Chains A and B, each alone.
Chain A
Amino acid sequence: MTTVLDPTSETAPATRERATRPESLAGLTVGLLDISKPRGNVFLDRVSERLTGLGATVNRYAKPAFSKPAPVDLRHEIATECDAVIEALAD
């Protein structure tokens, strides 16, 4: 029998707790994160219209560069200001 050392980050938990899903978006604040790919704003404008129609308040955010992860500050801002967030990739 061989014992080896785990080469991974060892951070993957067996199960991951998901945030509770809202029953309805009415009255909630929904964040829309534009990843800064061309014409993503066109798509998000339409999503914003539809969400507002459902009674949600929409906050718009944008990543500085689509090729890099959202900065920690931005993630924190979204997490503290919104009840839900939609992030989409578009080209």
Chain B
Amino acid sequence: MSSDLPSARRLPDGLVAVVKRDCPTCELVAPVLSDLHDRAGLTVITQDDPHFPVDADWVRHDDDLAISWHHDIEVVPTLLRVVEGSEDRRTVGWSRSEWEQFTDLDGLGQGLPDWRPGCGSLSVDPAHADVLAVRFSASGLRSRRVEMAALEDEWEAMWDRGWSDGLPVVPPTEARVLRMLEGTTRDPSEIAAAVPPALVDCSVEKVAVNAVMAGCAPEHLPVVIAAVEATCTDEFNMHGVLATTMSVGPVLVVNGPVAGRIGMNSGINALGQGNRANSTIGRALQLVVRNVGGGWPGGVDRATFGSPAKVGFCFAEDEAGSPWTSLAESRGWREDQSTVTVFAGESPRIFADEKSRSPESLTRHLAQALQATVSPRMMLGMDAMLVLSPDHMARYADAGWSRDRFMDELSAELLCDADELLAGVRGVAAGLPPAAAGRKVPKFRPGGLLVAHAGGPAGLFSAIIGGWANGPRGSDPVTREITP
């Protein structure tokens, strides 16, 4: 890397020390630096005072911190060995034995303490780091720059340009986008997905820009990228999810170690507001669909009602508190993998059962509630997601029911007599065609009911999230691994 840099940012061959006067350890080793110059031709790069440790031609001033930034100097003093323009090795802080070993010289720093830690490099000082990142790496960002006029209010200006979902968005400055991109190891120019409805190629950088606007922290970015990848698949069919008059949007469920690492909420108010990761990850995905894909309400988005969930709907499954395999495991992923599952869903509605003490009773009652999803007379066409609360899960844990047992028993309860649901029965025009008469019909297709566990520790409730047309004519849930 070093040899690709302009000469002003390259390190000279031989021994090099990077220092600043405003560091007691650098002050302490000032005599050692002169000694090393005399005996081994040391060059000093000084970050603050151009005459530290002495006024000499072997002391170079890194006045714009370009050298320090490009060589990832985090601590001063840093002692480096440079061979043919490339760093061979480095040591940080002051340690007599290490410096002697490093330089092959004896008797360094007589009378000094054996060891002192270094100080932070000016190039990583919070007061400078953002400015340096913009100065030295913003040129790698490809997005068009938009200048706000001096008298424009940033928030109003972004709203006027159509970039917002109606709530304030954080201005995506170069510094903020660069900081966001620190959250992933992926190249900013890499294409994450072709975003519906316009099917426009969307780079990791564009995802980061929208993640900044949504209010994400850098550690949330890998989840947002995986959510964009999952949503922009033919199986999920985001185009259809937008275009339908039904009021669904992408519902995200995060599984695996990443959920805890980024502080996601799977407990009290898990499906609600108040947790930064939950609130902003789903919103970032929707801003990508809006801004990159062009999926605007009233444009391709034709939802009759929409729902508050369409601002962004994302939560983590409570895996630790569940005796069952997780939603992701039920879909073929491993417990140690971090994943995001996207489901075309409505806002959650609450199912209350405060009386059932047996798993059989609760399952029967749940089936009655699930039967009403979208319409009690609509069978097989729509999927749903059920989020069991800890209090309801306890009925199954106490009885030793596994996920498979629960799904089998629930499916049996959801097998309905078609005669009860025929068009015209009990004076309702909607219903099953006459050909279904005399048959048993399941409410959901195989795999069409997704079950997760989340919610606070008190409350004999569960949440039902109604879905949309399933399969090739609609949407299939999609799970993607979250990678760094």
Q: Which residues from chain A contact B163 at a C-beta distance below 8 Å?
A: 7-8
Option from A1, A3, A11, A68 in Cβ contact (under 8 Å) with B239? A68
A68 to B473, CA, bound (A): 8
Q: Does B88 lie at the interface of the complex (its beta carbon under 8 Å from any beta carbon of A)?
A: no
Chain A interface size, under 10 / 10 to 19 / 20 to 34 / 35 or more: 10 to 19
Q: Are B240 and A6 in contact (CB under 8 A)?
A: no
- Cβ–Cβ contact B149 & A1, under 8 A: yes
Task: Identify B141's interface contact among A2, A5, A66, A68, CB under 8 A.
Answer: A5
Given A9-B200, A67-B469: A2 and B173 interface contact (C-beta under 8 Å): yes
Q: Who on chain A is nearest to B243 by CB? A: A67
Separation of A68 and B239 alpha carbons in the complex (Å) = 7
How many residues belonging to B are interface residues under a CB distance threshold of 8 Å?
44
Contacts of B210 in A (CB 8 A): 7
- Does A53 belong to the interface (CB within 8 Å)? no
Tally of A-B residue pairs with Cβ under 8 A? 86
Which one of A4, A65, A68 contacts B146 once the chains associate, using CB atoms below 8 Å? Answer: A4
- Residues A18-45 near B (CB distance < 8 A): none
* A11 CA to B200 CA, complexed, in Å: 8
Interface residues of B in 206-232 (CB under 8 A from A): 206, 209-210, 213
Query: How many angstroms between the C-alpha atoms of A68 and B300 in the bound complex?
Result: 12
- What are the interface flags for B143-158 relative to A under an 8 Å C-beta threshold, 1 for contact and 0 otherwise? 1111111100010001
Which chain B positions have C-beta within 8 A of A69?
A: 196-197, 199, 239
Question: Shortest distance in angstroms between B185's beta carbon and chain A's nearest beta carbon?
Answer: 20
Q: Is the CB of B198 within 8 A of A5?
A: no
Verify if B340 is at the interface (C-beta below 8 Å from A).
no
Q: Is the interface of B mostly helix, strand, loop or mixed?
A: mixed
Q: Is B50 an interface residue (CB 8 A)?
A: no
Q: A5-B172, A67-B243 are in contact. Are A10 and B237 (CB under 8 A)?
A: no
> Which residues from B are CB-within-8-Å of A68?
234, 237, 239-240
Are A3 and B149 in touch, CB under 8 angstroms?
no
| Cβ contact within 8 Å between A7 and B473 | no
Residues of B within 8 A of A6 (CB): 143-146, 209
Interface string of B68-98 (1 = CB under 8 A from A): 0000000000000000000000000000000
Q: B198 to A9, Cβ gap below 8 A?
A: yes
Docked-complex contact A7 and B239, CB < 8 angstroms: no
B455 at the A/B interface (Cβ < 8 Å)?
no
Q: In the complex, A4 Cα to B177 Cα: how many Å?
A: 9
CB distance from B141 to the nearest CB of A (A): 6
List the A residue with the shortest CB-CB distance to B244. Answer: A67
Query: Which A residues form the contact surface with B (CB < 8 A)?
Result: 1-11, 64-69
* 29 A–B pairs (Cβ distance < 8 Å), ordered by A: A1-B150, A2-B171, A3-B146, A3-B147, A3-B173, A4-B145, A4-B158, A4-B171, A4-B172, A5-B141, A5-B177, A5-B209, A6-B143, A6-B145, A6-B146, A6-B209, A7-B292, A9-B292, A10-B143, A65-B240, A65-B472, A65-B473, A67-B240, A67-B243, A67-B244, A67-B473, A68-B240, A69-B196, A69-B199
Known pairs A5-B146, A67-B469, A67-B474; list 20 more (Cβ under 8 Å): A1-B147, A1-B150, A3-B145, A4-B145, A4-B173, A5-B143, A5-B172, A5-B209, A6-B143, A6-B146, A7-B143, A7-B206, A7-B287, A9-B198, A9-B202, A9-B293, A10-B143, A11-B200, A65-B240, A68-B237
Residues of chain B touching chain A, judged by Cβ–Cβ distance below 8 Å, are 141, 143-150, 154, 158, 163, 171-174, 177, 195-200, 202, 205-206, 209-210, 213, 234, 237, 239-240, 243-244, 287, 291-294, 469, 472-474
